[in-house]
Amino acid sequence: MSKMKKTFLYLIAGGSLVACKSKDYEYSQQGNVQAPPTFASISQTAQIKDPLNWLSDFKSKELKQHIDEALEQNLSLQQKAYAVSIAYQNAIISGAPLLPSFDAAAGVSRTRTNPEVNGSPTPSRRTNHSLLLQMSWEVDVWGKLRDQAKAASKNLEFTQEDFAAARLSLAAQVTRAWLDVINNRLQVELALKRVDSLTTTQQIIEKRYRFGQITSLDVRLGRSNVTAAEAEHTRRTELYHQSQRTLETLMGRYPQASVEGQQQLPNLNVTQVPTGIPSELLARRHDIKASMAKLQQAEIESKLEAKSRLPDFTITGNIGFTNDRLDGLIDSDRVIWQIAGQALMPIFEGGAIEARQEAAYALFRQEVYRHAETILTAYKEVENALTQERLLLDREEQIEKSLDEVVEAEKISISQYNKGIIDVTTLLLTQRQVFDTESSFLDIQNERRQNRISLYVALGGGFEDQPFSPENMQ
């Protein structure tokens, strides 16, 4: 073996040893989140209902239609769907180099030369026709191409899970917007009822004023309260229209504030929610699965970058025909072929190779902590929603009791005012408290249902009769 050949082999072997020095890819304890055996905000795990179809809790065909329309027409979701399609095609592209590539080439050339004949140049022209089948194949000795295909596959998995998470998020947004439409419409009706009630009270005040039983101060206070109630009605009406436009936009409609919603807030079918154990959350939530796919992709790409010093081996070849006459091009006696091999290995790039390796590894470590943060955030969302579930129920019961008391107080205050026992200020304050408490009662009912949605989404629950499978997306 010649000295040049030995030197060449030593360079390849040395580069291979350097490239094979890989980083430690064990996920450090700093990147792990330890899950407790049960969620801290509950005393025990409820076993009442599977949260995979939380939409059934609301028993509303109207809501189901709104969600179906949003899943079909929402513009943001359409973008996510095309992102899945792009990732799917990129995965095919990334896997293609594992197989040889073939190209057909046809050509024609005309050459003029001036060879010397008897001591003088004599022009000569020649036409050449060719038809070739060319082949190129990179032999995946080190698994680089396989790693590229795996990374693309993980990116596809990420986009599929991200799309599934977007579908769930959209369903939750539509449900929240739908509840807001109902609540705001009820608030408009309550505000109008308040205007009518205060107008009736104002008529009583002005009647007593005409009989000289009260002063003009009471009249002006009454008028002020009627005007304030009308302003509140106007404000509530605008909030109602805004919530209508929000829902319509989510459904891909023109926001013309025409959707109305049902007459009352829906009743919740269950009073407790099955939570499961915290570790099950990792297998249910699409955003966590998407984060894990992104982490695995970064790990594969980091290891791939560590192989960048290894030589690439490529085999090329062609076979075909060549002839100076087109009509005799395909002739078994005119067959030509060629086969060649090449090894290409980087030696020096001014530190760029090491920099790319360090950057890829840093990106992987970044994804480790990002994934841990995603998990921790998911646990926080569940704990917050579980706590709110209990506290909101308590608040709803307390406000309902308060409403019962203040309604009775209003009856007493009206009777006592007509008898001259109390002044108009006490009456107006009592009436204001009635309507404020009624408004708060509507808000707390809406807030409790909004939190129920947040809890189901935090737990990774679905909203469809047949659970959506991101693996079916292409």
334-353: pLDDT as tens digits: 789 999 999 999 998 899 99
**Confidence grade of residue 57 (pLDDT, cut at 50, 70, 90):** confident
Higher pLDDT, 205 or 6: 205
Query: Total domain count for the chain?
Result: 1
Higher per-residue pLDDT: 276 or 157: 157
Q: pLDDT-derived band of residue 126, with 50, 70 and 90 as boundaries?
A: confident
Helix, coil or strand: residue 60: coil
Q: What is the 3-state secondary structure (H, E, C) of 238-298?
A: HHHHHHHHHHHHHCCCCCCCCCCCCCCCCCCCCCCCCCCCHHHHHHHCHHHHHHHHHHHHH
Within a domain: 178: yes
DSSP 18-33: HHT-----SPPGGG--
Contacts of 105 (CB under 8 A, 6+ apart): 130, 131, 132, 133, 134, 318, 320
Instruction: Please report the DSSP string for 333-355 in residue order.
Output: GGEEEEEEEEEE-----TTHHHH
Q: How far apart are CA 459 and CA 278, in angstroms?
A: 9
Short-list 155, 177, 158, 148, CA closest to 66: 177
What's the rounded mean pLDDT across residues 226-235? 96
Write out pLDDT tens, residues 269-280. 655 666 566 767
Residue 292, domain member (yes or no): yes
| CATH number of the domain within which 359 lies | 1.20.1600.10
Question: pLDDT at position 468, please?
Answer: 55
**214, part of any domain:** yes
> Per-residue pLDDT averaged across 19-44, rounded?
56
pLDDT > 60? residue 20: no
Cα dihedral sign, 24-28-31-33: positive
Please name the helix (run of DSSP H) or strand (run of DSSP E) that holds residue 68, with its range, or none: helix 61-73
pLDDT score for 221 = 92
Query: Residue 364 domain-assigned?
Result: yes
> N- to C-terminal Cα distance for the chain?
54
Total Cβ atoms within 10 A of residue 377:
14
Q: Indicate whether 452 belongs to any domain.
A: yes
Can you tell me the mean pLDDT for 212-234? 93
Q: Answer whether residue 28 shows pLDDT above 50.
A: no
pLDDT at 115: 73
Cα–Cα distance measured from residue 431 to residue 412, given in angstroms and rounded to the nearest whole number: 11
pLDDT of residue 392: 93
Structure tokens at 152: 């693309």
In this structure, is residue 361 part of a structural domain? yes
Mean pLDDT of all residues belonging to the chain: 85
Using pLDDT thresholds of 50, 70 and 90, give the confidence band for residue 267. confident
Band (pLDDT 50/70/90 cuts) for residue 292 is very high
Question: Is the confidence at residue 49, as pLDDT, over 50?
Answer: no
What's the pLDDT band for 300 if we cut at 50, 70, 90?
very high
Higher pLDDT, 161 or 127: 161
Q: What's residue 130's pLDDT?
A: 87
Q: Please say if the pLDDT value at position 117 is more than 70.
A: no
Structural domain of residue 213, as residue ranges?
Answer: 26-99+142-309+352-472
Gap between the Cα atoms of 91 and 290, Å rounded: 16
Find, among 435, 424, 443, 386, the residue nearest to 38 by Cα.
386
What distance in Å separates the CA atoms of residue 6 and residue 342, rounded to the nearest whole number? 17
231-235 mean pLDDT = 97
Number of other residues whose CB lies within 10 A of the CB of residue 189 = 15
| CA-based nearest residue to 146, from 200, 91, 104, 102 | 91
> Looking at residues 291-303, what average pLDDT do you find?
96
In a domain, 317, yes or no: no
Domain membership of residue 120 (yes or no) is no
User: By the 8 A CB rule, do 182 and 262 touch?
Assistant: yes
- Which range of 141-150, 269-278, 320-329, 384-393 scores highest in mean pLDDT? It is 141-150
Q: pLDDT tens digit string along 412-457?
A: 999 998 888 988 889 999 999 999 999 999 999 999 999 999 988 8
